[in-house]
Structure 1
Amino acid sequence: MNTTLQDPAVHPPRAKNSPVRAAVASMAGGTLEYYDNYIYALAAALVFGKIFFPDAGAVATIAALATFAVSYVARPLGAILLGHFGDRIGRKKVLVFILILMGTSTFLVGCLPEYSQIGVWAPVLLITLRILQGISVGGETAAATVLTIEISPEGRRGFFTSWAPNGIVAGFILATLIFVPISALPEDQLLSWGWRIPFLLSALVTVAGFIIRAKLDEPEAFIEAQAEHALVKVPVVEVFRSHWGAIVRVTFCSLAFAVDTVVKVFALSLATGVYGIPRSTMLWVLIVSHVLALVTQPLFAMVSDRVGRKPVFIAGNLGCAAMIFAYFAAIQAGNVPLLFLAGILSMSFAYAAINATYPSFFAEMFNLKVRQTGMALGLQIGLIAAGFAPSLYTALTAGNPSDWLPVAVISAIISLIAVGSALTAKETFRVPLDQLGAPITTPKPQAAVVPSGEQS
């Protein structure tokens, strides 16, 4: 251990890097990242088909939802690139870069000309910006989680890391609240200028997130490993060498997130486009269920700090597998009170249990030296299924758009696959931070050899 680093006279305590500050910064950054992500999802489901793919006819919505899915393909690339730099040069530096990349890309989406103005270049530019968003999101959750978990006290890692997904939920709430009045605009105003407002407002969220995130310091454990030359040179190579099982496990556990995009994108499009439920009603169902999740997620995380990550994560997936049928049935019935109830049980409880525990559950599978790369890569590979689920399900039901049963069955099977993967994991909620993940040996730098004739 490098005693110089522990000398308070040389390096005073870093008081501002408290778990609370890190959790707030994680939530703020997550709010921006997923505000941007969800306004895109909502726009893709509601208006992008008409704006960027007007000649696509009946498949315009599928084409628009496919642009939503494109970012999920880019996410593993973001996981590798941003994970590499996070594990090499620092968690905080990467977090700040991620914020700027996402904010800029989203603002530019709001500035894009339409297909009627520049033709095919409009969707090309849209897809390019969506890819940049995907690269950014590919590193966000892992970077925020890793920084927080490495400064959290023992026995509370689950609670503090749960504020990163709370930021995701807050981002969705903010995006949806802004889209409620926007979606109520007359059709011509919505398609001409209204849809741009949420994207342009992302500049304000970016500035706020940057101010909070820039005040963080690197975790002490990472600084010590860096000073002792204990970091690995190519984290993506090392993580496949020493933690390939954890990557596979996280990938299959991450299939659970397909349920989220099915509810927020596919079901939204189905309810408004096929069953005639007003857009504002569906958006309010999502807002209410996610506001409650802001409360239930930290509570589920606290439970995971007491009983373990696996029981909470598994229970959440089993709940999602059951509730997806109830949610679609409520949409088909057009019963608004039942729709609110099904939405709350699905998102505020079942899915909230998954969302609350996955950051600590996934991050604790990896050694500090490859933690950000490993978590980000496994998570984002699994999330590809979540990204393509809405467009694939829309194509699957093209012959009979009102037949949601196959979608519900496939969603339930995906949740059960995540359960099976979680059952193979070790329970880590009581394992000390420095004992997490597989051991990694890094060669110590060799001292320079001085020729005997030059010795004094």
Structure 2
Amino acid sequence: MDAYTNMEGAAGLADTAHRSSSRDSMSKVVTASVIGTMVEWYDFLLYGTAAALVFNKLFFPSLDPLMGTMAALGSFAVGFIARPLGGVVFGHFGDKVGRKTMLMTTMFLMGGGTFAIGLLPTYGQIGIWAPVLLILLRVIQGIGIGGEWGGAALMVIEHAPRDKRGFYGSLVQMGFPLGMLASTGIFAYLSRMADTDFLSWGWRVPFLLSAILVFLGFYIRLKVSESPVFAAAAQEKEPPKIPLFEVLTKHRRNLIISIGLKVCEVAWVYILTVFVVVYGTTVLKIPKTVILDGVLLGAALELLTIPLFGHLSDRWGRRPLYFLGSIFTIAAAYPLFMCIQTGNPVIIALAVAICMNLGHGSMYGPQAALLPELFGTKVRYSGASLGCQVAAGIGGGLAPMLATALLARQGHFVGVAIMIAVLGLVTLIATAASTETYRDNLYES
């Protein structure tokens, strides 16, 4: 009797969700999520490029170049360390109030922090208060992006048909390469200015442009209705009082697995897009445009490969793509730096692009579906956000900083390659420990 009742309830939820979803075409939902996510990633990724090229000189000028870069990357890492807090706060209210409201809030939080960075006085103007304010604004950015990803992913996959969740979720992930193309592209263009002009005012332009993009993203997201799965589940029963507590007590294994699944992918992409820029320009004295061109090529190709890997995950499952990505990352860690050391622009661009797409893209594409699929509807925002953002704090925030410290201590890249391989092994183990989810029903709770 209980089993029959549960099946009947699940069918009712599915029917309710289907009727609700018909009010919003998938194209509208996907467009709103991709543009909104692109804007937020543009804001967040601007900081990484600026940390590698500008902030060490303007906000930490009293340190030698490598230590100044480490300090700048430390302020970069602060944003990642703040991301779990954003995941907890916005995950809590996203599970209790709804996905859409939280997405609107995170956009203004991120955009406000980014715009304010563009107005900051430098160390030469206000002294120690300059890096203090920079770090504070980076914390605000981190909290915003920490709540953004989970909500954007859920809005799409909870609207999507079961057999296309991987593909539609991967379209949300395209916000990352789009944001990277926009942020890296504008910095690559402005870095061709005379150094005096670039350091004086040119670096501020990308941050100030954020205001326009945020209002555009907010307007588009305003047109989309609440997730049908959340709306249907909300009619069945009240959400738990503290979703985070339920995640930590009843979904602890999947939370740990989700952290392991994310940590290699996020570390790998920030090694490629932040540390490689530092290593190439500071140690090898390669022109910054050569490295940035490689990042741009990799991001452009990911616009094709991320949805491809998402589509393949609907056919083959999520785990095979994660096995591919983690094994590739382990194997490619050392050869990547050998390619960078050649100084050849073509070899560098191809190496960075291939590593981004086969190492990062193969895992990032299915990720927007996989991590939420590990958790029930009532705690899905909290569980997916917390797992993703804890891993981001470890892999994205600390990895470039630790890599720079290893480089400063050892004088070569071998320690960095070993670190990447270890993180790849962690994700490989997490993938082996996980269960396949691509056929699961999202209406189970």
Name the amino acid aligned to 2:24: N
- Please report the TM-score for the alignment, with normalisation by the length of structure 1: 0.91
Structure 1 residues 410 and 363: CA distance shift in structure 2, 3 A: same
Q: Report the counterpart of residue 295 of structure 1 in structure 2.
A: 304
Secondary structure, aligned partner of 2:368? helix
Between 12-21 and 315-324, the greater mean CA deviation after superposition:
12-21
Q: 2:55 aligns with which of 38, 41, 48?
A: 48
CA contact (8 A) 2:276 2:291 kept: no
Distance, in Å, in 2 between the alignment partners of 1:271 and 1:13 is 51
* Aligned equivalent of 1:77: 85
**Pairs within 5 Å for 1:84-123:** 84-123=92-131
Residue 66 of structure 1 deviates from its aligned partner by 0.3
Indicate conservation of the 8 Å contact 2:286/2:343, yes or no: yes
RMSD: 2.0
Q: 2:41 aligns with which of 31, 34, 45?
A: 34
1:356-395 Cα shifts (integer Å, max 9, x gaps): 0111111100000000000000111111122111111111
* Structure 1 position 353 matched with structure 2 position 356: no
Contact 1:103 1:203 in 2 (8 A): yes
Pairwise CA distance, 1:34: 1.1
Corresponding letter in the other structure for 1:117: Q
Deviation at 1:4, TM superposition (A): 11
Cα 1:2–1:400 change in 2 (3 A) is closer
Asked if residue 242 in structure 1 is aligned to residue 250 in structure 2, the reply is yes
Q: Answer whether contact 2:111 2:211 (CA < 8 A) is retained.
A: yes
Structure 1: which amino acid aligns with 2:359?
Answer: A
Q: Is residue 180 of structure 2 the alignment partner of residue 163 of structure 1?
A: no
**Mean alpha-carbon deviation: is it higher for 139-148 or for 363-372?**
139-148
What's the counterpart of residue 389 of structure 1? 399
1:398 — aligned with what?
408
Superposition deviation, residue 348 in structure 1: 2.1
Q: Deviations over 1:388-433 (max 9, x none)?
A: 11111111111454x1111011101111111101111110111122
Shift of 1:249: 0.7
Could you tell me which residue of structure 2 aligns to residue 447 of structure 1?
none
Q: Using a 3 Å threshold, how does the CA distance of structure 1 residues 358 and 122 change in structure 2: closer, same or farther? A: same
Equivalence for 1:314: 323
Q: Which residue of 2 aligns with 1:206?
A: 214
- The answer on whether the counterparts of 1:20 and 1:160 sit within 8 Å (CA) in structure 2 is no
SS at match of 1:162: helix
Instruction: Find out whether 1:420 has 2:420 as its counterpart.
Output: no
- Give yes or no for the alignment of 1:339 onto 2:348: yes
Unpaired runs of at least 5, structure 2: 1-8
- Mapped partners of 1:57, 1:232: distance in 2: 52
CA-to-partner distance for each residue in 1:36-61, whole Å, 9 max, x for gaps?
A: 11110000001101101111234111
Do 1:324 and 1:411's aligned partners in 2 also have CA atoms closer than 8 Å? yes
Given that 2:45 and 2:183 are in contact with CA atoms closer than 8 Å, whether structure 1 keeps it comes out as yes
Whole-angstrom CA distance in 2 between matches of 1:416 and 1:210:
39
Distance 2:19 2:272 in 1: 48
Deviation string, structure 1 residues 48-105 (Cα, Å, up to 9, x no partner): 0110111123411110110000011111110000000100000000011111110111
Q: Compared with structure 1, are the counterparts of its residues 7 and 380 closer, same or farther at alpha carbon in structure 2 (3 Å cutoff)? A: closer
Q: Which amino acid aligns with 1:427?
A: E
How far the C-alpha of 1:242 sits from its partner, in A, is 1.2
CA distance in 2, matches of 1:7, 1:167: 30
- Give, as a single letter, the amino acid of the residue that structure 2 aligns with 1:396: L
- What residue in structure 1 maps to residue 4 of structure 2? none
Query: Quick one: distance in 2 between partners of 1:273 and 1:233?
Result: 51
CA contact (8 A) 1:313 1:358 kept: no
Partner residue in 1 for 2:338? 329
Quote the offset at 1:16 in angstroms. Answer: 4.2
Larger relative helix fraction = 2
Q: Distance in 2 between matches of 1:12 and 1:83?
A: 26
The structure that has the greater radius of gyration is: 1
Say if 1:42 and 1:216 are closer, same or farther in 2 by CA, change over 3 A: same
| Cα distance in 1 for residues equivalent to 2:323 and 2:216 | 35
* AA of the residue aligned to 1:310: R
Structure 1 residue 148, shift from structure 2 partner = 1.1
Q: For 2:440 and 2:14, locate their aligned partners in 1 and report how far apart those are by CA, in whole Å.
A: 24
- Larger displacement relative to structure 2 (275-284 or 303-312): 275-284
TM-score (norm 2): 0.93
Residue segments in structure 1 that go unaligned for 5+ positions in a row: 440-456
The reply to whether residue 273 of structure 1 matches residue 282 of structure 2 is yes
| Counterpart amino acid of residue 328 in structure 1 | F
C-alpha separation in 2, matches of 1:235 and 1:394: 37
Give distance in 1, aligned partners of 2:10 and 2:320: 39
Counterpart-to-counterpart distance in 1, 2:141 and 2:123? 21
Tell me the percent identity. Answer: 38
Q: Cα distance 1:3–1:272, how it changes in 2: closer, same or farther (>3 A)?
A: closer
Cross-structure match for 2:180: 172
The separation in 1 between residues aligned to 2:74 and 2:431, in whole angstroms, is 29
- Counterpart in the other structure of 1:186: 194
Q: Which among 354, 357, 371 is matched to residue 362 of structure 1?
A: 371
Report which stretch shifted further, 13-22 or 359-368. Answer: 13-22
Matches within 5 A, 1:138-153: 138-153=146-161
